[in-house]
Amino acid sequence: MLVALGLTGGLRSELYPLLLVDVALAHGFLGPPAARFLAVATLIGLGGLSAAAGMPDGPPGWLAVALRLLWPAALLGAMELWTAARGGHADEPAEPVDAPAPLDGTRGEKAEPEPTAGPRHGLQEILHDLRSPLTVIRLYAELLADHARKGEPPVAEHVQNLRAEVELMESLLDVDGESRAAVRLRRRRRERFDLVKLLGSLASTYRLAHDERLRIEFIAESPELPVLADSLAVQRAFRNVLDNAVKYTPAGGQVRIRAGRSGSQAFVVISDTGVGMSAGEQQRAFEFSFRGQAARASGAAGSGLGLGLTRDLLEPQGGRITLASEPGRGSDVTIHLPVAREARS
């Protein structure tokens, strides 16, 4: 990230907020000690960028540089105070250490963790959804850096998509200490938007990020599919499903997105050729913190929040989600959303 800043304007770069997100993610996933280490490393790196660029003339310029240098430390301090105010200890890890496996004949398998209650789980849900834009931002930052190394101008589409991912992260991080339910179900104003355009953009982004490993297809039965919903919630829902499909599909497999309309409902089917689920696992698929046996055996990191969070994001929009799966042959996730009223005739 520091290299990307150096190539895109130094302390004035539009990528600067990513450094603050990095510190916040370290605090949430790895605990305060990791966040402190990263904040110190970030300050040192920013100091190097500032020294390389030279100090600006006049007090206004010095103040701007000082604020940019102090933001990571200020963010870390705010998170430390927040942790202390919630009754936590500064050096506790972000997640509890796994307890020994129960001696109940499960041959060493870990029991499924119980879902955590309260505001902390709400924050975990937001951090879960941040993984997707972070992956995409890393991809576009590498593409921009590659163009810069070659002396080529940046691709306008890459810059536009990068800005969109940063804006998505800013929206996700605007939690203001809300409870788990409020964070997950927070309602924004519904807006009319084209589902085909949204899915086409997501398909292009995921294809760019994973085309060396998977084949990702998008099929729309009509050029436009207007729906009326919270576009941020809908985008989070589709990213969760696509992340699961990509994560649990072996190399050489396929993920296909098909969108269409049936009466007053728009439908989207996301199919993959991944590890799949048994019938019993499908009945628990929407439980928070549940992961199927094949998903755990795959070695892919996961928290089991994706499908449960997706359901809770869609239902306030008048949407619903269903799952059909077969072990070893993949899954079909179907999402329904109401078509915008003026487009129903």
pLDDT tens digits along 5-41:
778 877 777 777 787 788 788 877 888 888 888 888 8
Q: Who has greater pLDDT, 196 or 163?
A: 196
What topology does CATH give the domain 192-343?
A: Heat Shock Protein 90 (3.30.565)
Cα distances (Å, whole numbers) of residue 182 to 36, 81, 125, 141, 177 = 29, 22, 11, 33, 10
CB atoms within 10 A of CB 30: 15
Listing DSSP states for 304-333 in one string gives: S-HHHHHHHHHGGGT-EEEEEEETTTEEEE
Q: pTM, whole model, 2 decimals?
A: 0.55
Distance CA 174, CA 132 (A): 17
Phi-psi region of 328 (alpha: psi -120 to 50; beta: other; left: phi over 0): left
Strand partners, 335: 268, 321
Q: Which of 276, 308, 311 is nearest to 295 (CA)?
A: 276
Residue keyed to tokens 């916040």: 24
CB atoms within 10 A of CB 282: 17
φ and ψ at residue 220, rounded to 5 degrees:
-115, 130
- Torsion angle (degrees, nearest 10) of CA 241, 247, 249, 250: 170
Residues of the chain with CATH 3.30.565.10: 192-343
Joined together, the tokens standing for residue 160 give: 């536009």
Mean pLDDT, rounded, for 302-313: 79
Are the beta carbons of 90 and 84 closer than 8 angstroms?
yes
Mean pLDDT, rounded, for 320-333: 94
Distance CA 335, CA 329 (A): 20
Q: Who has greater pLDDT, 261 or 68?
A: 261
Cα distances (Å, whole numbers) of residue 145 to 9, 57, 159, 168, 333 = 12, 29, 12, 22, 36
Strand partners, 194: 226
pLDDT at 85: 61
Joined together, the tokens standing for residue 54 give: 């030279």
Distance CA 336, CA 318 (A): 8
The model's pLDDT over 262-277, given as tens digits with 9 standing for 90+, comes to 999 999 999 999 999 9
Task: Please name the residue ranges forming H helices in 54-173.
Answer: 58-85, 119-149, 156-173
The model's pLDDT over 136-193, given as tens digits with 9 standing for 90+, comes to 677 767 777 777 888 888 777 777 767 777 766 666 666 444 444 444 444 556 889 9
Distance CA 189, CA 109 (A): 45
The model's pLDDT over 70-103, given as tens digits with 9 standing for 90+, comes to 777 777 777 777 666 655 444 444 343 343 343 3
